[in-house]
């Protein structure tokens, strides 16, 4: 399979390693690169000293997207900064390439409906990379909710917080896409996973009220702290879901609490467990501490290839990702304008 990598930072290199492990010699790799950094990263986000990227992976590199696409790749992995996703995706889709697009889909809504139309008309596969959809903790959470183990769900609290300067120890955090408005950064879009899985479980929210902004001393020009209250309709009942997102917490926190009439279901993605706390105080625990984070990325790439072969349907296609984008943009609008935002899908 001929594959074009658009962007080879840490996430692009992770995907490249996993593609090669899955396809082996059947993979023919090329790359469209703008910054042309030569650092080689490991799965644990450390720099492999003494190694140079193009020597390590032996791919052909292009600094022109047109030249890269002239090689007729079957699939393009779009792993460049968020604000650059859609232009590359549109060019690749027009050439008939299948698309793997890293989350978030974009930094705004421009061009997304056009991309969706091209993908549909050409019968292409387009998958947006929300790897948490493959996490065993999340899959167990969905299973328990589907089994109504919590009873009638009354509310939910979803949280993600992690100290931004500790994300990439080799890189000045002020240069990362997550910290820069011009590259589509900010905690709402960068941590859009939580919005995605809430919508996967509960559907689309109807009302949003959010507060936050750049509240810390971090040297960035995007929001680093946001709290949002969304109102969903779940099984014919109103359901308030609270979100907290930040770039600040040490140690990191990521998970949720689903509060029902019969039990509380808590998912902790740091400790890698799911716990049911029944009304009598008894706990039932599901532990996944031996699960390797990289398996999430392997599973989503295998899913992408299965979608290309028409064996599966994308878990997060352009339409689904667009709904998440509209919700994230509504959070930012509510936060910036200090008003309630109504949503219609």
User: Comparing C-alpha atoms, which of 171, 154, 158, 192 is closest to residue 316?
Assistant: 192
Question: Under DSSP, is residue 127 helix (H, G, I), strand (E, B) or coil?
Answer: strand
- Percent of the chain topping pLDDT 70: 97
Judged against a pLDDT cut of 80, whether residue 47 lies above it is answered with no
Residue ranges per structural domain of the chain = 2-131+298-315, 135-289+324-342
pLDDT of residue 315: 98
Which CA distances in Å does 4 have to 32, 42, 274, 275, 329?
A: 7, 20, 38, 42, 30
* The pLDDT of residue 46 is above 90: no
Q: What is the pLDDT of residue 48?
A: 67
State pLDDT tens for residues 244-260: 999 999 999 999 999 99
Give the C-alpha separation, 247 to 211, whole Å. Answer: 15
CA–CA dist 3, 12 (Å, integer): 12
Domain spanning 135-289+324-342: which superfamily?
Dihydrodipicolinate Reductase; domain 2 (3.30.360.10)
- Residue 121 in tokens: 């008309």
pTM, two decimals, is 0.95
pLDDT value at residue 34: 83
Q: Which residues, including other chains, have CB under 8 Å from residue 238's CB and lie 6 or more apart?
A: 231, 232
Note the pLDDT of residue 13. 93
Q: Which residues pair with 280 in a beta bridge?
A: none
pLDDT at 44: 65
User: CB burial class (10 A; 0-12, 13-18, 19+) of residue 23?
Assistant: middle
pLDDT at residue 145, rounded to an integer = 97
Residue pair 31/5 in contact (Cβ under 8 Å)? The answer is yes
Question: Average pLDDT of 82-108?
Answer: 98
Specify burial of residue 234 (Cβ count, 10 A radius: 0-12, 13-18, 19+).
middle
Q: What is the pLDDT of residues 186-215, one digit of tens each?
A: 999 999 999 999 999 999 999 999 999 999
State the pLDDT at residue 171: 86
Closest CA to 19 of 69, 72, 74, 91: 74
Q: What is the pLDDT of residues 109-148, one digit of tens each?
A: 999 999 999 999 999 999 999 999 999 999 999 999 999 9
Confidence of residue 170 (pLDDT cuts 50, 70, 90): confident
Neighbours of 287 (CB within 10 A): 13
Q: Is the pLDDT of residue 35 over 80?
A: no
The hierarchical CATH code for the domain 2-131+298-315 is 3.40.50.720
The answer, yes or no, to whether residue 50 has pLDDT greater than 60, is no
Burial 123-146 (b: 16+ CB within 10 A, else e): ebbbbbbbbbbbbbbbebbeebbe
Distance CA 342, CA 204 (A): 11
The count of other CB atoms within 10 Å of the CB of residue 299 is: 16
Work out the pLDDT band at 168, boundaries 50, 70, 90. Answer: confident
Place of tokens 């190694």: 51
Of residues 108, 89, 156, the one with CA closest to residue 332: 108
100-120 tens-digit pLDDT: 999 999 999 999 999 999 999
């Amino acid at each position: 399979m001929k594959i074009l990598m658009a962007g080879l930072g840490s996430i692009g290199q992770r995907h490249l390693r996993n593609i090669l492990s899955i396809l082996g010699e059947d993979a023919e790799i090329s790359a469209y690169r703008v910054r042309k950094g030569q650092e080689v990263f490991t799965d644990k986000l450390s720099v492999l000293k003494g190694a140079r990227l193009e020597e390590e992976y032996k791919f052909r590199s292009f600094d022109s997207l047109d030249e890269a696409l002239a090689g007729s790749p079957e699939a393009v992995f779009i792993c460049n900064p968020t604000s650059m996703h859609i232009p590359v995706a549109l060019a690749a889709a027009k050439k008939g390439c299948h698309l793997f697009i890293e989350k978030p889909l974009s930094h705004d809504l421009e061009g997304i409906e056009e991309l969706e139309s091209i993908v549909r008309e050409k019968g292409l596969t387009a998958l947006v990379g929300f790897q948490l959809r493959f996490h065993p903790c999340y899959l167990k959470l969905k299973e328990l909710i589907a089994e109504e183990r919590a009873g009638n769900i009354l509310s939910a609290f979803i949280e993600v917080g992690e100290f931004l300067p500790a994300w990439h120890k080799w890189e000045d955090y002020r240069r990362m896409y997550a910290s820069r408005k011009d590259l589509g950064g900010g905690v709402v879009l960068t941590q859009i996973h939580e919005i995605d899985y809430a919508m996967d479980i509960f559907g689309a929210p109807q009302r949003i009220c959010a507060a936050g902004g750049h509240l810390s001393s971090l040297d960035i020009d995007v929001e680093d702290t946001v709290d949002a209250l969304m109102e969903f309709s779940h099984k014919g009942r109103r359901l308030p879901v609270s979100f907290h997102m930040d770039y600040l917490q040490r140690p990191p926190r990521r998970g949720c609490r689903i509060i029902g009439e019969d039990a509380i279901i808590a998912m902790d993605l740091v400790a890698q467990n799911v716990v049911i706390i029944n009304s009598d105080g008894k706990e039932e625990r599901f532990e996944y501490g031996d699960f390797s984070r990289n398996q999430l990325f392997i599973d989503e790439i295998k899913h992408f290839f299965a979608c290309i072969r028409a064996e599966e349907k994308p878990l997060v296609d352009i339409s689904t990702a667009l709904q998440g984008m509209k919700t994230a943009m509504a959070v930012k609008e509510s936060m910036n304008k200090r008003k309630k935002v109504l949503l219609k899908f």
